[in-house]
């Protein structure tokens, strides 16, 4: 039996790739046409692009750029930052089950969308993620500052290509992981590997060898080749660029194979949950308690939400544990975790009911009770993620002072209230019909998610920074006083969201949209 | 108080620029089953949603058992049982949890036995504790009928209850409609399946372009002659 690939196979594969590229282009056009506020979306993209250019260029002319001690310090950590970008891209792609979908699973069934198209679509969607954008901006800005205007023409293309290559490589890892996860005992294999990697990383950090590992990363060659161009032309730089281009092409092409393998296997996690049985539990004594029970079930029986919260809670906690953050620094973390948690479903909270929203709305219960139950469930979900992060981070932070304990507790309460109020407001104002069964699903379209995540990240980080500062004040009651304006503002916003939900026409619009 | 269980007068429902219902008049008595027929977009489902208290009317009046759906929404919701046209099920909850929620909110103390019987009648007893996200379309429709009927409402609103349902499910739905009528409930059935509507109901109301165009005895729509008459009303 012949095992070698014939020219016919190669030609067919090339034809498939060409077709997939054309299909991806069509799907992007289709998605672009479905954007509701196209003017606003266009302006947002233009701002994002302008900011990216500014971030990549302006720091090169900042004071001390390309020569000072600080610039040299940045230069030294740049290879680690480049490697870190790859790690975070992998975590993001793996957690989302192979990356975001260009076309939702339910919609895609009617169209001949091949796994190759799906793979290319996931690559296109990867940058529409605030974590990815911030990481990319950090790399570009740090590179520009480290080498200054002289090194910018060499380091900028090398960094840009690395960002693309790392994203494509992450996609390969994500599809491979998804293919394994969907195989026999795959979930346990993936969990075992993830735990082993996490334990290795933490133990390397605790033993002080993590820096050595980062120093040995091949990413330093990117930097060395660009730096060497400052002393005159050397072939190492063009060779590095060519190698990066080859890495991009190879990663994109290689990713097709695991994408096909994964598509042929059933998504076990999702199917297990869809066909799962849950024995009856005793009746509750209050209406809200029953509503809360159903809402909790909707969250914890969803693959993307469960997986997302684990990554969100454990990831920053593990990084904080490895980095040995102080209590004052830990105060910034709950806000980031709460923001991420809201992006799993909270920004479109009514989507939990899916097509059952119409039936639920026909039940004899005051809308206030439904709103209270959904807000409560969202709050406890965010609080759980944030508390896990704080507990992990606290393991090396030592015994907190009274002021630090109060500051951290106040941060938890304030950021959860802040995020719940904002998310419930958005949920009522801009509901979307989404199927949250797929591990790759997001509660809102990609561009909207970028906007939501940016606003949440900025507001909660600023809040975290305020309480980070308050943790340094010796008097414990100062943090308590500090919570008052934040809680007052969040209460106002939550009441506004509540008013919108209790307005019958507004509620009908939200219900019919999510049930569509 | 109106002599009709369902009394709709000059109902208008607007969604922005679109007028989904434009002046529907509909009256249905207790113990009577009425079919709502018409093409896609005729306003059948929107009218049902108004009667279920899900969508508020933009203008006109809709009364259910003497209660105004606009001002006494919660009372109306207690009185009706609603099977929506799409989905109707919370994707990650089990049928039993759906029933438990409904029973809790309707203050039904001894609901389990009746619920179990109804699930068995619709051949859903085996999947009572399974998440509905994995249900077939037909299973979902059958469960939606169970959810609408199990608390024995005074007004039963069934929107496309036969869509994609097997003959066993259709028969069970017929039984539910017959039971409801026998105990004096008013039943409204919105469907595209004329033959089944004729079998299940004694009156048929035809909607077109968001307004009522005819009300006739369901039997007049049966057979070839009925099909021709119906087609003439749709054009």
User: pLDDT of A85-138, one tens digit each?
Assistant: 898 899 888 888 877 887 777 677 777 888 899 899 999 988 887 778 888 998
Query: In the structure encoding, which two tokens stand for residue A325, read together?
Result: 């953050």
Burial of A113 (0-12, 13-18, 19+ CB in 10 A): buried
- Cβ separation of A355 and B87 shorter than 8 Å? yes
Give the contacts of A26 (CB within 8 A, at least 6 positions apart): none
Q: Please give the model's pTM, rounded to 2 decimal places.
A: 0.86
CATH code for the domain of B65: 3.40.50.300
- Backbone phi and psi for residue B213, each to the nearest 5 degrees, phi listed first: -110, -20
Instruction: Indicate the residue of B77, B97, B105 with minimum beta-carbon distance to A297.
Output: B97
- Cα–Cα distances in Å, from A205 out to A87, A201, A265, A312? 15, 6, 37, 20
- For chain A, the domains span 58-274, 287-515
B167: domain range?
Answer: 6-234
* Inside any domain, residue B90: yes
* Inside any domain, residue B156: yes
User: pLDDT of B133-175, one tens digit each?
Assistant: 889 999 999 999 999 999 999 999 999 999 989 999 999 999 9
- Please, which residues 32-51 of chain B have a Cβ atom closer than 8 Å to chain A? 49
- Specify the range with the lowest mean pLDDT, choosing from A319-333, A461-475, B83-97: A319-333
* Inside any domain, residue B35: yes
Query: In the structure encoding, which two tokens stand for residue B5, read together?
Result: 């269980």
Res A265 pLDDT > 90: no
- Please, which residues 61-90 of chain B have a Cβ atom closer than 8 Å to chain A? 70, 73-74, 77-78, 80, 82-84, 86-90
Question: At how many degrees (to 10) do helices A402-429 and A446-470 cross?
Answer: 160
Q: How confident is the model at residue B1 (pLDDT cuts 50, 70, 90)?
A: low
Give the contacts of A330 (CB within 8 A, at least 6 positions apart): A320, A390, A393, A394, A397, A408
pLDDT at A360: 95
Identify all chain A residues contacting B144, using CB atoms and an 8 Å cutoff. Answer: 359
Identify all chain A residues contacting B96, using CB atoms and an 8 Å cutoff. Answer: 280
Res A458 pLDDT > 60: yes
Q: How many domains does chain B have?
A: 1
Mean pLDDT over residues A190-195, rounded? 90
User: pLDDT of B8-30, one tens digit each?
Assistant: 999 999 988 888 888 889 999 99
pLDDT at A284: 86
pLDDT at A448: 87
Mean pLDDT over residues A311-334, rounded? 83
* Inside any domain, residue B1: no
């Amino acid at each position: 039996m012949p095992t070698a690939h014939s020219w016919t196979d190669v030609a067919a594969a090339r034809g498939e790739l060409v077709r997939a590229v054309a299909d991806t282009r069509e799907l992007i056009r289709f998605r672009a046409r479905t954007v509701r506020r196209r003017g606003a979306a266009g302006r947002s993209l233009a701002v994002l692009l302008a900011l990216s250019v500014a971030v990549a260029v302006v720091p090169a002319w900042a004071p001390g750029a390309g020569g000072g001690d600080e610039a040299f310090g940045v230069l030294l950590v740049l290879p680690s930052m480049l490697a870190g970008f790859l790690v975070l891209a992998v975590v993001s792609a793996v957690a989302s089950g192979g990356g975001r979908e260009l076309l939702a699973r339910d919609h895609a069934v009617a169209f001949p969308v091949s796994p190759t198209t799906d793979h290319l679509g996931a690559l296109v969607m990867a940058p529409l993620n605030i974590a990815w954008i911030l990481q990319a901006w950090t790399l570009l800005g740090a590179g520009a500052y480290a080498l200054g205007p002289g090194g910018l023409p060499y380091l900028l293309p090398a960094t840009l290509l690395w960002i693309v290559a790392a994203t494509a490589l992450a996609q390969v890892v994500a599809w491979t992981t998804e293919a394994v996860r969907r195989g026999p005992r795959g979930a346990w294999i993936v969990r075992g590997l993830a735990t082993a990697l996490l334990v290795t990383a933490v133990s390397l950090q605790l033993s002080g060898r993590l820096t050595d590992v980062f120093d040995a990363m091949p990413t330093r060659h990117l930097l060395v080749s660009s730096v060497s161009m400052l002393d005159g032309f050397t072939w190492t730089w063009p060779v590095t660029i060519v190698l990066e281009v080859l890495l991009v092409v190879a990663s994109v092409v290689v990713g097709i194979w695991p994408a096909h393998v994964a598509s042929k296997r059933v998504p076990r996690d999702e199917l297990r949950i869809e066909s799962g049985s849950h024995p009856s539990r005793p009746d509750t004594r209050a209406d809200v308690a029953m509503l809360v029970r159903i809402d909790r079930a909707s969250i914890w029986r969803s693959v993307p939400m469960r997986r997302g919260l684990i990554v969100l809670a454990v990831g920053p906690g593990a990084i904080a544990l490895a980095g040995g953050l102080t209590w004052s620094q830990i105060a910034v973390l709950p806000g980031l975790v709460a923001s991420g948690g809201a992006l799993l479903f909270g920004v479109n909270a009514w989507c939990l009911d899916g097509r059952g929203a119409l039936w639920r709305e026909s039940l004899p219960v005051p809308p206030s009770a439904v709103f209270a139950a959904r807000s409560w469930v969202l709050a406890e979900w965010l609080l759980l993620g944030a508390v896990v992060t704080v507990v992990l981070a606290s393991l090396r932070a030592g015994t907190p002072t009274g002021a630090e304990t109060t500051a951290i507790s106040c941060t938890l309460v304030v950021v959860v209230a802040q995020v719940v109020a904002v998310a419930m407001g958005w949920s009522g104002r801009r509901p979307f019909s989404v199927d949250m069964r797929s591990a790759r699903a997001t509660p809102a379209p990609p561009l909207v998610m970028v906007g939501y995540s940016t606003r949440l990240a900025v507001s909660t980080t600023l809040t975290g920074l305020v309480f980070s500062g308050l943790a340094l004040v010796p008097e414990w009651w100062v943090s308590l006083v500090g919570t008052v304006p934040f809680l007052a503002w969040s209460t106002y916003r939550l009441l506004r969201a509540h008013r919108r939900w209790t307005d019958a026409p507004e509620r009908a619009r939200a219900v019919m949209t999510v049930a569509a | 108080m109106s002599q009709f269980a369902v009394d709709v007068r000059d109902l208008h429902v607007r969604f922005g620029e679109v007028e989904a219902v434009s002046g529907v008049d509909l009256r249905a008595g207790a113990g009577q089953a009425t079919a709502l027929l018409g093409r896609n977009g005729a306003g059948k489902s929107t009218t049902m949603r108004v009667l279920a208290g899900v969508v508020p009317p933009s203008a006109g009046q809709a009364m259910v058992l003497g209660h105004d759906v606009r001002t006494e929404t919660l009372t109306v919701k207690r009185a009706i049982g609603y099977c929506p046209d799409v989905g109707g099920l919370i994707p990650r909850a089990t049928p039993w949890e759906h029933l438990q929620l409904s029973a809790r909110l309707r203050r039904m103390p001894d609901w389990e036995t009746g619920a179990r019987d109804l699930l068995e009648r619709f051949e859903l007893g085996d999947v009572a504790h399974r998440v509905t996200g994995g249900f077939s379309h037909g299973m979902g429709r059958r469960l939606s009928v169970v959810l609408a009927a199990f608390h024995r409402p005074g007004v039963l609103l069934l929107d496309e209850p036969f869509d994609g349902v097997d003959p066993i499910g259709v028969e069970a739905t017929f039984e539910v409609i017959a039971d409801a009528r026998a105990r004096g409930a008013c039943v409204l059935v919105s469907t595209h399946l004329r033959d089944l509507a004729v079998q299940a109901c004694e009156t048929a109301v035809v909607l077109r372009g968001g307004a009522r165009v005819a009300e006739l005895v369901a039997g007049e729509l049966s057979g070839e002659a009925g099909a021709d008459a119906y087609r003439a009303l749709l054009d």
